[in-house]
Amino acid sequence: MKIIVATITALFLFSFADSISAQPHQKATETDCYDQLKGNNYSRAIEICTAVIAEKADSAPAYRSRGLAYIATGGFENYSQAEADFRKCIEFDPTDKQCHYWLGYSNGVLSNFSEENYRHDFSDNSRDDDSFSWEMTEPASVNEMRFAYREALARNDGYSLLRLAKIENKNQLLPEVKAGDVLYNAYLIGIKYRSPDLLFNIAKYENEAEIIKTKKAGDILYEAYNFSRDRRDAKTMMNIAIYENNEQLMTAKAGDILYEAYLTAKNKRDIRTLLRIADYEDKLDLMTNINAEQVRREALTFYR
């Protein structure tokens, strides 16, 4: 009798387990997708979001969460995937401001990458001089150059003076003014207005051309660094750290400067700069007290 009962019990349990396994799995939801992202489980978030999208192709929240998971993972291919996801998010929900923001961010990052040359030149990551206040074409004559120089001085336009210094150093249009004098005037304006970005760009060019007799590139770069600290300019501080890592012009260590940029960006809740710092740290490994993954997690925490 005990044998029969045991057999029936075993058959019942087998049948019950089989019926459970035969039931369909619970479908993944947009909430599940977001919860995995929030828990920093990026691979799992991508997997669940993909499942949600397979069931509901117009799920803007799933595209948004998957895009953010790709960004948190980093790398050219993942940023490309993120860009595509944010475009889909906007396609299905044009009012989603977060997806508009992150699409702009991913586009900006991708512009610094190239698929053929993934390890791009980190020493030249700042904006081009052409995006500064300079609006006229390159002066072609002595009179045009004189006029442009006078106008830039009158406007206290340091960025235009920087570009004019480059033009003068190349073409030698002004017999009465040397390129180093033009660049030095740009430097004085940078000091007057405490402009870390302007001074950073002047330091870079002085390091290349060596045309200012009274100032060394390293000294100018250090002044740019100090002003970036005073003004809590995390972006310029980050650029200085990357440049210093290549050129070694100052006594300050590149890793320490980058860590300070990270702290400044964190305090300002500057998500874009934090993610850029994470990208650079991935490649250069400069900071000793935090890694790129931790920086990305903190950036996405501000988003959430």
> Considering the chain, what is the average pLDDT of its residues?
81
| Residue 145, CA atoms < 13 Å, CB-side half-sphere | 21
Token code pair at residue 259: 């860590």
Q: Judge whether 34 and 2 are in contact, CB under 8 Å.
A: no
9-22: average pLDDT = 35
Q: Judge whether 77 and 114 are in contact, CB under 8 Å.
A: no
Confidence of residue 132 (pLDDT cuts 50, 70, 90): very low
Dist. CA 26–CA 252, nearest whole Å: 56
Give burial (CB, 10 Å; 0-12/13-18/19+) of 55: exposed
Task: Kindly list the structural domains of the chain, giving each domain's residue range(s) and its CATH number in brackets, ordered by start.
Answer: 26-110 (1.25.40.10), 129-303 (1.25.40)
pLDDT at site 3: 39
pLDDT beyond 50 at 133: no
pLDDT beyond 80 at 278: yes
Q: Which DSSP letter does residue 127 get?
A: P
Q: Judge whether 89 and 53 are in contact, CB under 8 Å.
A: no
Tell me the H-state helices in the chain: 2-22, 30-38, 42-55, 60-73, 76-92, 97-110, 142-154, 158-171, 179-192, 196-209, 217-230, 234-247, 254-267, 271-284, 292-303
Cα four-point dihedral sign 181, 186, 188, 189: positive
pLDDT at site 33: 87
In terms of average pLDDT, the best of 35-49, 121-135, 197-211 is 197-211
pLDDT beyond 70 at 26: no
pLDDT beyond 90 at 294: yes
Confidence of residue 138 (pLDDT cuts 50, 70, 90): low
Residues counted in the chain: 304
Q: Judge whether 48 and 32 are in contact, CB under 8 Å.
A: yes
15-29: average pLDDT = 49
pLDDT in tens, 69-122: 888 877 667 888 888 999 999 889 988 888 887 887 777 666 655 433 333 333
pLDDT at site 204: 97
pLDDT in tens, 218-257: 999 999 999 999 999 999 999 999 999 999 999 999 999 9
Q: Which DSSP letter does residue 130 get?
A: G
Q: Which DSSP letter does residue 132 get?
A: S
Dist. CA 264–CA 232, nearest whole Å: 6
